[in-house]
Structure formats: C-alpha cells, structure tokens
Amino acid sequence: MRLLLFTGKGGVGKTTLAAATGATLASHGRRTLVISTDPAHSLADAYGVPLGPEPKEVTRRLDGVQIDSRHLVDAAWEELRRQLRDALAGAGLDALDAEELTVLPGIDELLALTEVRRLAMTKHWHSVVVDCGPTAETLRLLALPEAIAAYLRRLYGWQPWQGSSSRTKRGVASSVAQLGRHLESLRDLLTDHEITSVRLVLTPERVVVAETRRTLTALALRGIKVDGLIANRLMPAPGMWRGGAASWLRARRKQQDEVLAELRGVGMPELTLVEHRAEEPVGLDALADISQQLYRGGDPLAPMGEAKDHGEAAMMHITANPRGGYRLRIAVPLDPGTDVDLARVDDDLAITIDGFRRLVALPRLLRSCAVVGAESDAEGIVVHLGEPEEIR
C-alpha cells in the first residue's frame, strides 16, 4: 500500500493534482482511493461526479471520498473523543475543561487523519491519495499525533501506554493507553518512508519561496518524507509571438523562471512543472492531460525528486568534540536567517524553527550532557554538549 499526501497553499492546485494522480494510478491498473480531508471539498468538482463521506466509484478501479470529520457520528469517533476526554480529565482537568478541549481546533484534523488511516488499513486499495487542506492545517494535522502524545507524556510523567496503571485510576489509564497507542500508530504511518510521502504543490510566485522552504523544514523535522515538489500554473513560453499579450506573457514567465531558479536551492527536491491551462482542468480527460505533464507516462508512485533523507535515524549525527564533550548535528534544510530556538526538556531537545516546535529525544549517550551552545547553517543545527556528568 502507498499513501500520497498532496498539500500546498490555498488555491495552488492541490485538489486538481491529487485527482489527476489518482486517475492515472487507476488507469495503470492500481485500485486507488482519492480522499479529500479539506472541509471545502472540491474533489467532486474536479472529477465532475458527486462524492460523499463513503467511498464511491469515480471510474474503473478509482474511488473517491470526501471526509467531513465535523459531522461524523460513527462509534469510532465517539470512542476517540471519549479517550481524549478521559485522558485529559484523569490529568486533573475538570470535566468541563476536558470537554472543551476535545472540541479544540486540531481535533477535527486528528479525526480526519484517523479516518484516512482506517480507510488505508482496509487494504481494499493499493494506493491512497489524499487531497489535504492548505499547508498550515496539514502541518498541524501531521504534527498532532506527536504533539498530543508528548503532552500526555508530560502530564502523566511517564509513557502511560507502556507503564503500569498503579499510578492512576484504571479506567483513565486504559483510555490514555488506547489514545497513546492510537497516536503512535498514526505517527508510525506518517513517518514510514516505504508507505507515506508528501507532494508539495506551489505556484511560481515570489511569496511562496520562503513558505515552501519553511514547509520542507517543518516536514523534515517531523521525519516525514517529501518526494515531489510541483510548480503548477506555469505560464507557457510565448516563443516567437509578438504584440502586447506576448510581452505580458514573456514578462510573467521570466518572473516565474526567476522564482523557480531560486527554489532549486539546497535540500530541495527536483521541481516538476505543470503549465497553466487555458481551460479549467475538470473531468477525467483534462486531468489525464495534466498527469501526462506531471509523470510523463511513468509511474506516479515513483519519487518525483527526493529531498535529502531526513528520517529519524539519518537526522542526527553525533561526533566527539576533540576539546571535550560532543557535537550533535541535526540535519534539516534551513534558510539563512531562520529563527531557531533550542531548549532542553528533560531527556528531549525542544527545537523550534520559525514557530514549528518538535521534541527530539536525545540519544542515550548525550542525556547526561549539558547543552553548552548551538549554531545553525544551511544544512541544519549543531548542538554542542559538555562531558557526561553522571552515568544514569
């Protein structure tokens, strides 16, 4: 099974490209499901067929579904809400607070992701393509399993789903345990590089360059693989045309080319270009045409260009400092001038890059070493640590 997630800023073409990819996978003989998690559903419009909360056939081997987590009343959802409420109530928050917390923004995304996993795990489809919401929501969605797990860990002071239930009431412990296992299963699915990858869609405009870099950094920090960067709505090259319209096109294309050149920087996956069509790409024929530019007849599951591997294992590299202590290198693509903040939280290192925070468990060797300094360059962060103080 493969899981492809499409994300990018609002209106850049996520739905169109996810729909085109799904249709091409099906035409290559793979049973495919395209899922929209964006509350503003337009997947049905892209295919020109009605779709709902249950998978529905679009064409041979291709199904589509639009998840509406806000209106899900299924028992599984109630169960997840109950686990979350009990877990939070057990941590000393009173019932009302806990109830309010379960309707916080973010919970919808957690539910949507749970539904994506449930559908993917039915093994009914070989490929599952997800048309996610805009980048900010997707990042929050992808960060949520880990964020909530870390929050619970901190509230309870131990890994509740692995520890004994003696420190708290049995019912609460079992809810926390279930929720913990559930969050871990979501995180495992998202960070499994054999199964899941993200394709980032952008339009070649100056404002998107910085945002694209930030998104790549945030995804790398979470150990999520990006295997495609797609620049959509590229102006056609006007060639030998003359006249006012041609010079407008030429100027616009020149500007877009400059942005693309800027994007082909360090740590970026290769760019795939899709031209701006005169007509809206709606319906299977128009989508097939888009797909031809995207994949050039090749397998849509093949990586379109991989960012440097920032998997958990590859991300950290420890070297002994000849002057004593250690250096820990954390590889993430960073823009010069990026705002990086580091803090030690117990055995974790809290790394905040441009507002995105991630807890990274310190390797065992370094847990008793004090952080004595840090610096960053385009390749990532280097943390300087002192000598181990005691053997734990």
Residue span 174-213 as binding mask against ligand ATP, x where in contact by CB under 6 A, dash where not: ----------------------------------------
Residue 378 corresponds to which amino acid? Answer: A
Length of the chain: 392
Nearest Cα neighbor of 263 from 221, 314, 205 is: 205
- Residue 322 CB, shortest distance to ligand ATP, in Å, is 51
Is 21 or 32 the residue whose CB approaches ligand ATP more closely?
21
β-strand partners of 384: 327, 373
- Residue 292 CB, shortest distance to ligand ATP, in Å, is 12
Distance CA 183, CA 179 (A): 6
Residue span 106-145 as binding mask against ligand ATP, x where in contact by CB under 6 A, dash where not: ----------------------------x-----------
Q: What are the residue ranges of helices labelled H in the chain?
A: 14-27, 43-47, 75-90, 95-101, 107-121, 135-156, 170-190, 206-221, 244-263, 284-295, 312-315
Q: Is residue 102 classed exposed, middle or buried when 0-12, 13-18 and 19+ CB atoms within 10 A define those classes?
A: middle
Selected binder of Mg ion within 15, 21, 24, 203 (CB under 5 A): 15
Taking a C-beta distance cutoff of 8 angstroms, is the pair 58, 49 a contact?
Answer: yes
Helix (H, G, I), strand (E, B) or coil at 236: coil
Selected binder of ligand ATP within 14, 30, 117, 358 (CB under 6 A): 14
Is 20 or 383 the residue whose CB approaches ligand ATP more closely?
20
Helix (H, G, I), strand (E, B) or coil at 154: helix
Q: How far is CA 323 from CA 66, 319, 375, in A?
A: 58, 12, 17
Contacts (CB under 5 A) with Mg ion, residues 36-75: 42
Instruction: Give the binding range for Mg ion (CB under 5 A) out of 10-18, 250-258, 310-318, 335-343.
Output: 10-18
- Residue 214 CB, shortest distance to ligand ATP, in Å, is 18
- Residue 5 CB, shortest distance to Mg ion, in Å, is 13
Distance CA 349, CA 366 (A): 11
What would the two tokens of residue 52 be? 């709902």
Selected binder of ligand ATP within 34, 38, 156, 304 (CB under 6 A): 38
Task: Give the sheet arrangement for strand 62-66, strand by strand.
Answer: 56-59, 62-66, 32-36, 127-131, 2-8, 196-202, 226-234, 271-275
Residue 232 contact, options ligand ATP, Mg ion, none, Cβ 5-8 Å cut-off depending on partner type: ligand ATP
Contacts (CB under 6 A) with ligand ATP, residues 252-281: 274, 276-277, 280-281
Is 45 or 347 the residue whose CB approaches Mg ion more closely?
45
Instruction: Give the binding range for ligand ATP (CB under 6 A) out of 4-12, 59-67, 81-89, 248-256.
Output: 4-12
Distance CA 348, CA 367 (A): 8
Taking a C-beta distance cutoff of 8 angstroms, is the pair 16, 24 a contact?
Answer: no
203 binds Mg ion, rule: CB under 5 A: no
- Residue 64 CB, shortest distance to Mg ion, in Å, is 13
16 binds ligand ATP, rule: CB under 6 A: yes
- Residue 201 CB, shortest distance to Mg ion, in Å, is 10
Distance CA 374, CA 334 (A): 14
Residue span 281-300 as binding mask against ligand ATP, x where in contact by CB under 6 A, dash where not: xx------------------
Selected binder of ligand ATP within 5, 15, 177, 256 (CB under 6 A): 15
Neighbours of 9 (CB within 10 A): 20
Residue span 229-248 as binding mask against ligand ATP, x where in contact by CB under 6 A, dash where not: ---xx---------------
Sign of the C-alpha dihedral computed for residues 142, 284, 305 and 215 taken in this order: negative
Instruction: Give the binding range for ligand ATP (CB under 6 A) out of 9-17, 154-162, 185-193, 211-219.
Output: 9-17
* Residues engaged in binding ligand ATP (CB under 6 A): 8, 10-16, 38, 40, 42, 134, 232-233, 274, 276-277, 280-282
Which residues of this protein are in contact with Mg ion, per CB under 5 A? 14-15, 42
